[in-house]
């Protein structure tokens, strides 16, 4: 590294330390740029792929009320993907490159969306747990150091809170329903609890990037801290539903003021990350199908816009 | 043929009486589509009563490396602020 770059890096870190935001045209270390492109695009891909397991239930929602809510939620997730792709593009990557990385399987997205939504209760569990876990992460990210990312997060967080509430309300309705309905809610919790816990990523000691991310204020809390926050906040909500969290080691710890909980199945975690989850292949296939089948629309819109522009030009002459 | 739609910057007036504020950006084939998309992406919850769309390439931004010469000269001009001037306590509304 030459002297000038070193000086710039010192100055950059000082700006971060003093709580300043970094904006798109500011000087930044190459690694800061690359880390952000990767993280923001993974986040964007997660919003987009996240529409698939829920979209699966829109046509089968049990009432019109549930249907408009789910439709609005899924539409929000599309918007979240767009806000985040725009934030990533400020760092010098194009939308087409981002799409290519997703569609080719090169890019990662949150593993949670590689689990199937097999019953209507899963839509309740996803809103409650998956959006709940996402909100914890996203609230932290509203304070992240990169301006465009932080602003996207503020917008997203405003929209997220209804997502979790609509999910919880579905669970509540099922839990106040028949025995079969309540069993369905319990079954959904059983299947979604651990994958939701995994959303916060590997344990701190297995997360080599955490230190740098904290130094650059990309993250303000570690994976384990966020996971603990999720447990502490969610367990009482499960109690109100009258459901049992599927963790025999879960218990309140008077001394720490937090819940203790059991070890996650890290083998499953890495297995899904590596592409061997139940739905990894289907999600990518669906995504590619939508992209390919939309190609003619994108092309037609371009040609139509050119034609209109030419017509205006001819009139002007 | 494979051509990416250009990027547009979106500005929203949240209600009459307030200025348009930058909300974010999106891709669209032309201005009309940019307005349509902006409506769907940025005003799903009554966030606005008016939209401006500008193709990003038409915006000229100041260079952050020039921030010193552009903005620092204002730093030592305290006399441009009302608090620079001392008045007796009896003067209330000034
Ligand atoms: Fe979202
Ligand atoms: Fe959401």
pLDDT digits (tens, 9 = 90+) for A157-178: 999 989 999 999 999 999 999 9
pLDDT string in tens for chain B (94-residue length): 468 999 999 999 999 999 999 999 999 999 999 999 999 999 999 999 999 999 999 999 999 989 999 999 998 999 999 999 999 999 988 8
Q: Which of residues 25-84 of B touch A (CB under 8 A)?
A: 25-27, 29-30, 32-33, 40-41, 44-45, 61, 63-65
Gyration radius of chain A's alpha carbons: 22
pLDDT tens, A260-279? 999 999 999 999 999 999 99
Candidate from A25, A151, A305 with C-beta closest to B61: A25
Among residues B60, B4, B30, which one has the least CA distance to residue A94? B4
Write down the pLDDT at residue B1: 47
pTM given for the model: 0.93
The answer on pLDDT for A84 being more than 80 is yes
The answer on pLDDT for A2 being more than 60 is yes
- What mean pLDDT do residues A80-89 have? 97
Among residues A72, A39, A56, A53, which one has the least CA distance to residue A113? A53
Chain A within 8 Å of B7 (Cβ-Cβ)? yes
- Determine the distance separating the centroid of ligand 2 and the alpha carbon of A73, expressed in angstroms: 7
In B, minimum Cα distance to A25 occurs at B64
Proportion of chain A above pLDDT 90, given as a percent:
94
């Amino acid at each position: 590294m030459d002297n000038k770059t070193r000086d710039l890096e010192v100055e950059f870190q000082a700006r971060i330390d003093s709580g300043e935001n970094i904006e798109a045209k500011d000087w930044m270390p190459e690694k800061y740029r690359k880390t952000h492109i990767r993280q923001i695009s993974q986040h964007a891909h997660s919003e987009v792929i996240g529409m698939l397991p829920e979209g699966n239930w829109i046509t089968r929602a049990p009432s019109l009320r549930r249907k408009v809510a789910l439709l609005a939620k899924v539409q929000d997730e599309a918007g979240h993907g767009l806000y985040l792709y725009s934030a990533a593009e400020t760092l010098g990557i194009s939308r087409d490159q981002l799409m290519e990385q997703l569609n080719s399987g090169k890019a990662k997205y949150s593993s949670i969306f590689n689990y199937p939504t097999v019953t209507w209760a899963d839509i309740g569990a996803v809103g409650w747990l998956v959006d709940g876990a996402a909100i914890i992460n996203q609230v932290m990210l509203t304070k992240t150091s990169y301006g465009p990312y932080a602003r996207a997060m503020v917008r997203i967080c405003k929209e997220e809170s209804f997502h979790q509430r609509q999910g919880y309300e579905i669970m509540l309705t099922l839990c106040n329903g028949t025995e079969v309905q309540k069993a369905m809610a319990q079954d959904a919790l059983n299947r979604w609890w651990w994958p939701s816990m995994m959303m916060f990523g590997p344990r701190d000691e297995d997360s080599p990037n955490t230190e740098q991310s904290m130094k650059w204020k990309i993250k303000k809390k570690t994976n384990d801290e966020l996971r603990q926050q999720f447990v502490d906040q969610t367990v009482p909500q499960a109690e109100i539903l009258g459901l049992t969290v599927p963790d025999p080691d879960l218990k309140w710890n008077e001394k720490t003021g937090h819940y203790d909980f059991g070890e996650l199945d890290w083998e499953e975690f890495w297995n899904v990350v590596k592409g061997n989850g139940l739905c990894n292949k289907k999600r990518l296939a669906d995504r590619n199908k939508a992209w390919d089948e939309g190609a003619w629309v994108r092309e037609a819109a371009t040609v139509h816009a050119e034609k209109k522009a030419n017509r205006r030009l001819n009139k002007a002459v | 043929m494979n051509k990416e739609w250009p990027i547009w910057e979106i500005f929203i007036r949240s209600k009459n009486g307030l200025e348009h504020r930058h909300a974010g950006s999106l891709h669209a084939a032309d201005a009309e589509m940019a307005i349509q998309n902006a409506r769907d992406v940025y005003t799903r919850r009554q966030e606005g009563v008016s939209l401006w769309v500008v193709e990003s390439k038409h915006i000229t931004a100041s260079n952050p490396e020039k921030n010193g010469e552009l903005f620092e000269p204002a730093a030592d001009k305290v006399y441009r602020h009302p608090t620079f001037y001392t008045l007796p306590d009896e003067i209330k509304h000034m």
